[in-house]
């Protein structure tokens, strides 16, 4: 069918692309059609109902670009099961999509220390997390994470106690987070840093057109990636999932 010079198929394709951009389309794949194929073939058919519900609610949020993409949520969920994580931390929660992916993957007695400066966003997703029966695994703290981390390190008893830590927060503090988290994650444990390919701008020329916030944080992301690459205490693997995620395995 042709509508205003477009076939119905073309119109539907544009609607699909637009829809994914609205919910925080972060794929680094050059083809939107290929990303759509991954979502419809692998991600959406296996997405737990609570995660689907939270994803759809988050899509209506004016800052939905901040959410973890559905394919990355699936990746985190499987990763946590593979490493048998039990004691975890998340810095930067937003509405809780990645937090829910984590909570669903952990055993019944698993724990997540979750920190974010905005409780209102977290409470948007909290009813779904409660309905999923995993809210008891989450210890949510509102406010900056840095003072909490400093207290934990000063206390001494938290050193090397975390199996997995996920960071999706202020990029200008990633280096500061890493300085602290490397002491809190156990040897053999993982830290996942989100957005390390930063909309693909890590390879863009300095004069390339970018949104103001993208340009502002780009240099912090570039510097952070160099720091990780030179850190002898970790093994790293940078993956083009979502907006780029770097996994760091503590080896010493």
Nearest-Å Rg of the Cα atoms of the chain is 19
**Per-residue pLDDT tens over the stretch 155-182:** 999 999 999 999 999 999 999 999 999 9
Give the structural domain span for 196: 32-250
Q: In the predicted model, is pLDDT for residue 16 greater than 60?
A: no
What are the tokens at 142?
A: 């509102």
Q: Place 3 in a pLDDT band, splitting at 50, 70 and 90.
A: very low
Whether residue 18 lies inside any domain: the answer is no
High-pLDDT (> 90) share of the chain, %: 86
Whether residue 12 lies inside any domain: the answer is no
Q: In the predicted model, is pLDDT for residue 11 greater than 70?
A: no
165/189 Cα distance (integer angstroms): 8
Q: Place 26 in a pLDDT band, splitting at 50, 70 and 90.
A: low
Q: In the predicted model, is pLDDT for residue 183 greater than 70?
A: yes
Q: Of 153, 157, 202, 203, nearest to 178 (Cα)? A: 153
pLDDT mean over 104-118: 98
Q: Place 10 in a pLDDT band, splitting at 50, 70 and 90.
A: very low
- Per-residue pLDDT, 191: 99
| Comparison of pLDDT for 25 and 29, the residue scoring more | 29
- Per-residue pLDDT, 28: 82
What are the tokens at 128?
A: 């779904």
How many domains, the chain? 1
Whether residue 187 lies inside any domain: the answer is yes
Q: What is the pTM of this model?
A: 0.89
Q: Place 206 in a pLDDT band, splitting at 50, 70 and 90.
A: confident
Whether residue 149 lies inside any domain: the answer is yes
The helix (H) or strand (E) run that includes residue 70 is helix 70-82
User: Is-contact 97 73, C-beta < 8 A?
Assistant: yes
Give long-range contacts, CB 8 A cutoff, 24+ apart: 32-35. Answer: 35/71
Whether residue 228 lies inside any domain: the answer is yes
Whether residue 2 lies inside any domain: the answer is no
Whether residue 10 lies inside any domain: the answer is no
* Count of C-beta atoms within a 10 Å radius of residue 100: 27
CATH number for the domain that contains residue 79: 3.40.50.150
pLDDT mean over 103-110: 98
**Per-residue pLDDT tens over the stretch 46-74:** 999 999 999 999 999 999 999 999 999 99
- Per-residue pLDDT, 27: 73
Q: In the predicted model, is pLDDT for residue 17 greater than 70?
A: no
21/237 Cα distance (integer angstroms): 27
Q: Place 31 in a pLDDT band, splitting at 50, 70 and 90.
A: confident
The helix (H) or strand (E) run that includes residue 157 is none
Half-sphere exposure of 230 (CA within 13 A, CB side): 7
Whether residue 23 lies inside any domain: the answer is no
């Amino acid at each position: 069918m042709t509508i205003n010079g477009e076939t119905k198929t073309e119109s539907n394709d544009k609607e699909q692309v637009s829809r994914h951009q609205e919910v925080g389309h972060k794929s680094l794949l050059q083809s939107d059609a290929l990303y759509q194929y991954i979502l419809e073939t692998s991600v959406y058919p296996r997405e737990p109902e609570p995660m689907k519900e939270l994803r759809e609610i988050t899509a209506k949020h004016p800052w939905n670009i901040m959410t973890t993409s559905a394919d990355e949520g699936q990746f985190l969920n499987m990763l946590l099961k593979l490493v048998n994580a039990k004691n975890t931390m998340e810095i930067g929660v937003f509405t809780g999509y990645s937090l829910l992916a984590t909570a669903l993957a952990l055993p019944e007695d698993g724990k997540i220390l979750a920190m974010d400066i905005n409780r209102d966003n977290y409470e948007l997703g909290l009813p779904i997390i409660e309905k999923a029966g995993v809210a008891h695994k989450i210890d949510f703290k509102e406010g900056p994470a840095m003072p909490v981390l400093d207290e934990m390190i000063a206390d001494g008893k938290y050193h090397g106690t975390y199996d997995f830590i996920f960071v999706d927060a202020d990029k200008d503090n990633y280096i500061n987070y890493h300085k602290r988290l490397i002491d809190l994650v156990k040897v053999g444990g993982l830290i996942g840093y989100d957005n390390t390919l930063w909309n693909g701008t890590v390879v863009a020329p300095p004069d390339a057109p970018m949104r103001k916030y993208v340009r502002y944080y780009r240099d912090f992301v570039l510097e952070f990636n160099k720091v990780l690459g030179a850190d002898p205490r970790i093994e790293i693997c940078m993956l083009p999932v979502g907006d780029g995620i770097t996994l760091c395995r503590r080896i010493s």
